[in-house]
Chains A and B, each alone.
Chain A
Amino acid sequence: MQPQCCWHKEQIERHDCPNIRDGDGPLLFDRKQRFLTRCLTCHLFIEDLRSLGPAAGDLPQLLPFAIEKLVALEAENRELRGRIGSLEQQGCFLREVGQELQSSLDKDGVIAMALTAVTAGEGFDLNRAILLLVDHSSQSLNGYLAIGPRDHAEAGDIWREIEQRKFSLREMAQRLKEEKFAAEREKFQDLLGVLSISLQRSNHLFVQTLDSRVSRHISDLAREPGIDPAQVAALGVREMILVPLVSKRRRIGLLLADNLINKRPLGERDQQALETFATPVAYALERAELYERLQMELERTTVANQRLKDQQLQILQMEKMALVGKIAADVAHSIRNPLTIIGGYARNLAKTMPATDPQRPAIDSIIRESLRLEDALEEVLLYSEARHPTLDDWDINRILHGVYAGVQADLGQTAATVELDLSPSLPLARVDFKRLGYCLRSILKQLIHAATSDSHIAISTRLSGRQILLSFSGTNLAPVALPESGKCNPVGNGKSSGLGLALCARVLEGQNAEFDIQTEPQGTVHMTIAITLNEERIHEPVTDC
């Protein structure tokens, strides 16, 4: 009798077997595989066995049992293969995450990768991940970042985007860090704030979990005694996994994960996977924090090093200046002593010499010229020091009073009237007392030198914004003795005053001060020194001079 099933044929046509499907082409030529995968479960094959009659014995009854077992084994095999595939995929994922965690020294990079891994479909596939970090300085556990959708609509948008754009895990983490960090933090700001707690609260669920170093699967959050109701409400889930992030000695933080949107029950496998994952995350975070501190220390050391270099340079400059000072002192000693002797003896002689003595004009010339030389020497020495003023806080009015008192003898020789109008509420100014005094004296002497019998000299001080203004005005002065208008050029040729006013400009330049001269026709001149104050000095009037 001709068998109904095709089990006896080496090759078949597609219509020979009712169980051949699309893609089963190789089975048309492979009899053994076709027998195992198709014939054994085919009803035509059972019919063929029955048609063998008594010769087949009870084989037709036993064969379905064997076939059932075979099918079950095949199904189990398929499932195992699926699980191996899934584990391989998870292994690949863990390897990728592990590599990233091991190589990253950027704290936010580590956090982005960790939270992405928890929530990504190809990762742990949980809906939401929340990271709390320990702040050792304030001894608190603070909400640092949360990621995930807040509702179904947002979840739909996110998952659709991921599906469309086929992001890899690394790309998703990168994108989170670079584009969405601030937005996620903003989105979960309230939640992160509510979840922050003091580490002193040892009975709190979070602190307990962190201290115990063991993860927790909370199946009903509302029934947990160690958590604030406000925190339960803010979290808005019933079930959640808490995983402590701890390194060998330090508490790093706490990772919270849940399925807020799809409500998929959390299982032991989720908890174990997160627990395994938490260790490299904790170490990576600690390493990133240490690296951050190392960078800060490096920066501090670099700054200190730079400061040291600057100070070395300053010492070198000071040594140079000391040398300049020594040379200046030697020059002064070599010139001033002879000048003092020449001029001094001339004065001494003049005291006893009658005004009518024919030698008297010559003696007077010696006195006058030696004084001029002394002034010129003082200017040269001051010029050599001008670049390195010794700045202190001084009452400008007090300096001006001192200088004014010092030129009384010169003033006495003119018939000019002088008016002093000094503001009583000036703050202290940071100036070099000696050099500013020299400038004020030079300016006053310039005015006295140009004064006629009709001249009037007005001296005033006042505060104007961030500046103290010292004004020296003269009217009815001898025009030929007046300086030119303008910002006095430090290296210019103050034509009627030797180095005088030009040197003043140079000296004042080093003291945050500007010197301006306005000369008008008919012998009027206005000289102004504007001293710029430090911001904090402006509201500090002098209380005692």
Chain B
Amino acid sequence: MSRLLIVDDEQDICRLYAAELEDEGYQVETAGSAAAAAELLTSRNYDLVVLDVQMPGESGLQVLQNIVRDKPELPVILCTAYSCYKDDFSSWLADAYVVKSSDTGELKSEIARILGKRHMSKNQ
């Protein structure tokens, strides 16, 4: 079972995504800030991180840079309220970019695509 980490300062969003993704069969943990995410990332292993960009304190883009530096193999999906972050080149380090929506279909399909691709490359 794939382990996902959802990082978002909105607890309701964390809970919603966790519920939706658990329904899809993933094991999900959540973090409400960049600092909490950093702690979890050093102590546990995840297969994928869903990361909000705009958070109080350290932004999601900084968390992304830390992940790329420390765990370059760990895929990250940026999930944000405003699509203009796509124009920030540091966001290009992410594996995918999803605009937040009540319809979590796009998020789910991106997770499936990335993990599926990863699974395939591991098997090869």
> Which A residues fall within an 8 A CB radius of B?
325, 328-329, 332-333, 335-337, 339-348, 351, 367, 370-371, 374, 378, 381, 385, 390, 409, 434
| Interchain CB contact under 8 A, B102 and A342 | yes
Q: How far is the CB of B51 from chain A (nearest CB, A)?
A: 15
| Interchain CB contact under 8 A, B103 and A329 | no
Q: How far is the CB of B37 from chain A (nearest CB, A)?
A: 18
Known A337-B10, A341-B12, A344-B20; contact A328-B84, beta-carbon cutoff 8 A? yes
Q: How far is the CB of A72 from chain B (nearest CB, A)?
A: 103
Contact of B84 among A336, A339, A385 (CB under 8 A): A385
| Interchain CB contact under 8 A, B100 and A329 | no
Closest 7 CB pairs of A and B: A343-B102, A332-B82, A336-B81, A344-B16, A329-B82, A341-B12, A333-B81
Q: How far is the CB of B26 from chain A (nearest CB, A)?
A: 15
| Interchain CB contact under 8 A, B101 and A374 | yes
Q: Mark B7-22, 1 if CB is under 8 A from A, else 0.
A: 0001011001101100
Q: 12 other contacts beyond A337-B81, A339-B102, A340-B102, with CB at 8 A cut-off?
A: A328-B82, A333-B81, A336-B81, A336-B82, A337-B13, A337-B100, A340-B100, A341-B12, A341-B16, A344-B17, A344-B104, A374-B101
Known A329-B54, A345-B16, A348-B19; contact A340-B84, beta-carbon cutoff 8 A? no
Contacts of A333 in B (CB 8 A): 54, 81-82
B39 close to A (CB within 8 Å): no
B83 close to A (CB within 8 Å): yes
- Bound-complex Cα distance A370 to B83 (A): 18
Chain B contacts with A in 98-117, Cβ cutoff 8 A: 99-105
- Bound-complex Cα distance A367 to B105 (A): 14
Q: How far is the CB of B7 from chain A (nearest CB, A)?
A: 14
Q: How far is the CB of A349 from chain B (nearest CB, A)?
A: 10
Q: How far is the CB of A503 from chain B (nearest CB, A)?
A: 15
Known A343-B103, A346-B102; contact A351-B23, beta-carbon cutoff 8 A? yes
Contact of B103 among A335, A371, A385, A390 (CB under 8 A): A371
> Which B residues fall within an 8 A CB radius of A?
10, 12-13, 16-17, 19-20, 23, 54, 81-87, 99-105
Contacts of B101 in A (CB 8 A): 340, 343, 371, 374
- Bound-complex Cα distance A482 to B9 (A): 42
Q: How far is the CB of A331 from chain B (nearest CB, A)?
A: 8
Q: How far is the CB of B100 from chain A (nearest CB, A)?
A: 5
Query: In this complex, what residue of B is CB-closest to A375?
Result: B101
- Bound-complex Cα distance A332 to B101 (A): 12
Q: How far is the CB of B40 from chain A (nearest CB, A)?
A: 22
Among B13, B86, B101, find the residue whose CB has the most chain A CB atoms closer than 10 A. B101
Contacts of B10 in A (CB 8 A): 337, 341
| Interchain CB contact under 8 A, A381 and B102 | no
- Bound-complex Cα distance A533 to B72 (A): 40
| Interchain CB contact under 8 A, A371 and B102 | yes
Contacts of A328 in B (CB 8 A): 82, 84
Q: How far is the CB of B98 from chain A (nearest CB, A)?
A: 11
Contacts of B83 in A (CB 8 A): 378, 381, 434
Contact of A329 among B12, B84, B99 (CB under 8 A): B84
| Interchain CB contact under 8 A, A348 and B87 | no
Q: How far is the CB of A544 from chain B (nearest CB, A)?
A: 21
- Bound-complex Cα distance A367 to B23 (A): 19
- Bound-complex Cα distance A343 to B20 (A): 13
Known A333-B54, A367-B102, A371-B102; contact A340-B82, beta-carbon cutoff 8 A? no
Query: In this complex, what residue of B is CB-closest to A325?
Result: B84
Contacts of B87 in A (CB 8 A): 390
Contacts of A351 in B (CB 8 A): 23
Contacts of A336 in B (CB 8 A): 81-82, 99-100
Contacts of B100 in A (CB 8 A): 336-337, 340
- Bound-complex Cα distance A220 to B70 (A): 91
A-B contacts, 15 listed (Cβ < 8 Å)? A329-B54, A333-B82, A337-B81, A340-B100, A341-B10, A341-B12, A341-B13, A341-B16, A343-B101, A348-B20, A367-B102, A370-B102, A371-B101, A381-B82, A385-B84
| Interchain CB contact under 8 A, A381 and B84 | yes
Contacts of B99 in A (CB 8 A): 336, 378
Contacts of A434 in B (CB 8 A): 83, 86
